[in-house]
Structure 1
Amino acid sequence: MDAMKHSVERIVQAVGGKDNIVTATHCVTRLRLVLKDEGKVDKDALERVDVVKGSFSANGQFQIVIGSGVEKAYGYLREITGMQHATKEEVKSEAEKKLNPLQRLIKTLGDIFIPLLPAIVSAGLLMGINNVLTGKGIFYPNQALIDVHPEWKDFAGIINLIANTAFVFLPGLIGWSAVKRFGGSELLGIVLGLMLIHPDLMNAWSYAEAVSKGTVPYWNVFGLSIQKIGYQGQVLPVLVSAFVLTKIELYLRKRVPEGFQLLLVAPIALLITGFLAFIVIGPVTFAVGKAITSAFVWVFHQLPLIGGLIYGAFYAPLVVTGMHHTFLAVDLQLIASTGGTFLWPILALSNISQGSAALAMMFVSKEEKVKGMSLVSTISAYLGITEPAMFGINIRYRYPFYCGMIGSAIGAVVITSQHVKASSIGVGGLPGFLSIFPQYWGVFFIGMAIALIVPFALTIVWGKSKKKSA
């Protein structure tokens, strides 16, 4: 019998048999199963299967990390269970039935922001290069490279323009992704997002100054005064507007004859949503976003040690639950409102800490499979992808996960005590320093050293003590 087929048979038995599998699909590295009862899963038996590199439950799906052979494994899974092919959307739909309202909200935010990550992370990396070129004290004392070598100035300017594009037109990206997630026409979502940052509107970054000077522009519509401001860099206005636009579009599509839909549906949906966005949705959500930003800023400025300790310790558990996606919106809001984020640097340290804890298991564990997985997953975590390390190694043995949390918390306290900020969202691992404002590099490198050394040492000591007491 084919070794992979035999392994898949063992997987099916370990997850409770074929009758416990509702539906299944796969991604690049993982089998994604919706199970009737996850309590029937035999984790020990599953981990003994050679091809299984880890497993975890998230968003109503039980996911099994296979690696490059996942497509072949999925083929055998369908053969063994007699299951028809299911798309990712069908599996997600089935999985969502098992989620409570809060989990659905978190998953929705994840579905909206995850597709944007390539653009945002790429922008962050490019802004990091710009930071290197324009940061004072990196190459020359009290001077930037472009000050000493003016020929680099325009080169840095072009890089900055390319990097800033994703953030300047962020509402357009969010509009596309949000309307797509809600089931509407993606093109209308792009138009909606760009409409909220139209050049005829006053730039959102000038709003506070305009308020103080009393120069905020207004539309006068039949006696109703409407602020003529844009929502550059804002998250909530376009999210809520996208939801409203989709509901109106779907409502009209059900009632307008097909022959008239092209002429009526999009114009009416955009017109109604546009007026609602500028009259109600925009002002209200702008105020809510400002309040959320102010709350985070107050905590991390007035109580930086407590804020850093809590967020540093519990970011990894947030990843396990999927709730970390909600903080991406907060990061983007902080960057738009204050010019930088103090949350993202902690994320980078948390990822490094979990990677270091996984690396220590290479020296603690006697299992060759664990040794191999720990090295690969550590590299992944150091480059910003922690799921293999956390789900494949750390959570499986528990104490490495706790050691990672401790290291992350200590590192976070150090950097938040000095108010370290990132100018953008970048690669959340060792290359993360590129996104940090250069004046904070020294402190951030200390935080990185803590994240590298403390979890590794704690895991080694904890692991050795467990062996002695066994």
Structure 2
Amino acid sequence: MSVNKESVREIIEAIGGKENINTATHCVTRLRLVLNDESLVDKDRLEDIDLVRGSFSTNGQFQIVIGQGVVDKAYKILAEETGVESASKQDVKNAAEQKMNPLQRAVKTLADIFIPILPAIVTAGLLMGINNILTQPGIFMDESVVEAFPQWADIASIINLIANTAFTFLPGLIGWSAANKFGGSPLFGMVLGLMLVHPDLLNAWGYGSAEEIPTWNILGLTVEKVGYQGQVLPVLVAAYVLAKIEIWLRKRIPDAFQLLTVAPISLLVTGFLAFTIIGPITFTIGGWITDGVTSIFDVVPALGGLIYGGLYAPLVITGMHHTFLAVDLQLIGSIGGTFLWPMVALSNIAQGSAAFAMMIVEKNNDKVKGLAVSSGVSAYLGVTEPAMFGVNLRYKYPFIAAIIGSAIAGIVITIANVIAPSIGVGGIPAFFSIPANLWGAFFIGMGITIVVPFVLTLLFSKFQKKK
């Protein structure tokens, strides 16, 4: 696809002119703009432009899908035509944040913390899936692969160690990312997170079965020596406190003394607070969150599957889906697995199936047909934004068809108690992160999200044409 000044000028006019652009940057595939007034955007005109493959607004940013290898050229022309200064992605995020309400800012904060560590978590999930294939019986034969071929046992053991590292030291990853987000030193945040899972502490997973809980006696105060393996809230709150203490100290201590004072004081104070106040309180709150989420699925599993399976895609539109990554990790740490993430994987597949159906519905429209194919493949591999915003939401009924298929599949796999001990790629490869004994139920759900949205989109298109 060629990029020329005329097509970029059309984009500028369709989004309300250069005066409507506050800040601009781009990522691998999209122009990411903060507009002064998004109501001035003529979406129909914008998406009729050959260069544009879709557009959507999220978290205060108006994003225009251009395509890899082309978007950087389009951005350079846009900058020349509008005179907008080149901005970093953080500048755009900061500008967008000014338009958000408190809830949106809270969701964005969680997203900014968890998205940077997501590749490590997904990689760990995939590797754990490979380990499951090697160690679980009944997949290829009655015995497991390592039982039938003992020479594979040590290879499986190394894979398991590599896979478990991200989850074993999850507070370290969260501490690094959270401290960075809150304005502190990422290194201090990582040390804080690792401190909470130190080997000298009683492992949190063995807390319930421990005969005796080791304690500290701190000036007459008894503090349990318990780690926070797999916990999310303790390190999030502690990292916030650490960052604020560090910022406060750096403003007041001369530069010459900061190396010797800021880190020791920050970590010492936060460490005491983490083990005496923050940890116990947030551990309890985390338990309440886990109990609250699981109670719906325990009492009426079908209802929980229907609600979450159907509502996940609409949550993506608002950006609130990022909050559930924290819930998934909390569930994995508390009960050993998450029943939410498998529905996320199926929701992604459903969006891809609906997009693929639009390839047939719009067979005479080369632009939509091409976008439907590429975005459908992307959704099947876990990235749904191109399918959702570029195709399904544009025509509305494919999005509804995808929600229906996802909700039905959610009911099926929830009733079957499908659970994932880790988070992997949220699409077709998701089964690698599901225990092999649950593959049958998950594959049924996957079949539903492949067939139902596809068929419903074709049927709905017939009614649309009759109107």
Give TM class, smaller chain.
over 0.9
Between the aligned partners of 2:267 and 2:118, the Cα distance in structure 1 is 27
1:344 aligned residue: 341
| DSSP 3-state at the match of 2:207 | helix
1:201 aligned residue: 201
* Equivalent AA in structure 1 for residue 354 of structure 2: A
Shift of 1:127: 0.4
1:325-365 deviation line (CA, Å, top 9, x unaligned): 11001111111111111011000100000000000000001
1:73 aligned residue: 74
Between the aligned partners of 2:15 and 2:413, the Cα distance in structure 1 is 43
| DSSP 3-state at the match of 1:230 | coil
* Equivalent AA in structure 1 for residue 99 of structure 2: K
Shift of 1:3: 4.8
Matched, 1:228 2:219: no
Kindly report which structure 2 residues correspond to 1:347-358, keeping only aligned pairs within 5 A, or say none. Answer: 347-358=344-355
Kindly report which structure 2 residues correspond to 1:279-294, keeping only aligned pairs within 5 A, or say none. Answer: 279-294=276-291
Between the aligned partners of 2:229 and 2:3, the Cα distance in structure 1 is 55
1:124 aligned residue: 125
Shift of 1:299: 1.5
* Equivalent AA in structure 1 for residue 148 of structure 2: V
Kindly report which structure 2 residues correspond to 1:90-239, keeping only aligned pairs within 5 A, or say none. Answer: 90-141=91-142, 143-210=143-210, 213=211, 215-239=212-236
| TM-score (normalizing by structure 1) | 0.97
2:369 aligned residue: 371
1:48 aligned residue: 48
Shift of 1:54: 0.6
Which residue among 389, 412, 418 is the counterpart of 2:387? 389
Between the aligned partners of 2:369 and 2:281, the Cα distance in structure 1 is 53
Between the aligned partners of 2:209 and 2:322, the Cα distance in structure 1 is 32
Kindly report which structure 2 residues correspond to 1:194-343, keeping only aligned pairs within 5 A, or say none. Answer: 194-210=194-210, 213=211, 215-343=212-340
2:86 aligned residue: 85
Between the aligned partners of 1:145 and 1:166, the Cα distance in structure 2 is 25
| DSSP 3-state at the match of 1:139 | coil
1:461 aligned residue: 459
1:423–1:81 Cα change, 3 Å: same
Between the aligned partners of 1:84 and 1:144, the Cα distance in structure 2 is 59
Percent sequence identity over aligned pairs = 64
Answer yes or no: is the 8 Å Cα contact 1:25–1:32 preserved in 2: yes
| DSSP 3-state at the match of 2:4 | helix
* Equivalent AA in structure 1 for residue 243 of structure 2: T
Structure 2: stretches of 5+ with no match in the other structure: none
| TM-score (normalizing by structure 2) | 0.98
| DSSP 3-state at the match of 2:24 | strand
Between the aligned partners of 1:291 and 1:371, the Cα distance in structure 2 is 47
Shift of 1:254: 0.6
Q: Across the two proteins, how many residue pairs are aligned to each other?
A: 464
Answer yes or no: is the 8 Å Cα contact 1:364–1:464 preserved in 2: no
Matched, 1:28 2:28: yes
Between the aligned partners of 1:5 and 1:285, the Cα distance in structure 2 is 54
Shift of 1:268: 0.5
1:292-337 deviation line (CA, Å, top 9, x unaligned): 1112222112211000000000100111111111100111111111
1:6-30 deviation line (CA, Å, top 9, x unaligned): 1110111111111111111111111
| DSSP 3-state at the match of 1:209 | coil
Answer yes or no: is the 8 Å Cα contact 1:301–1:419 preserved in 2: no
Further displaced range: 164-173 or 78-87: 78-87
* Equivalent AA in structure 2 for residue 445 of structure 1: F
1:362-391 deviation line (CA, Å, top 9, x unaligned): 000131100000000000000000000000
Structure 1: stretches of 5+ with no match in the other structure: none
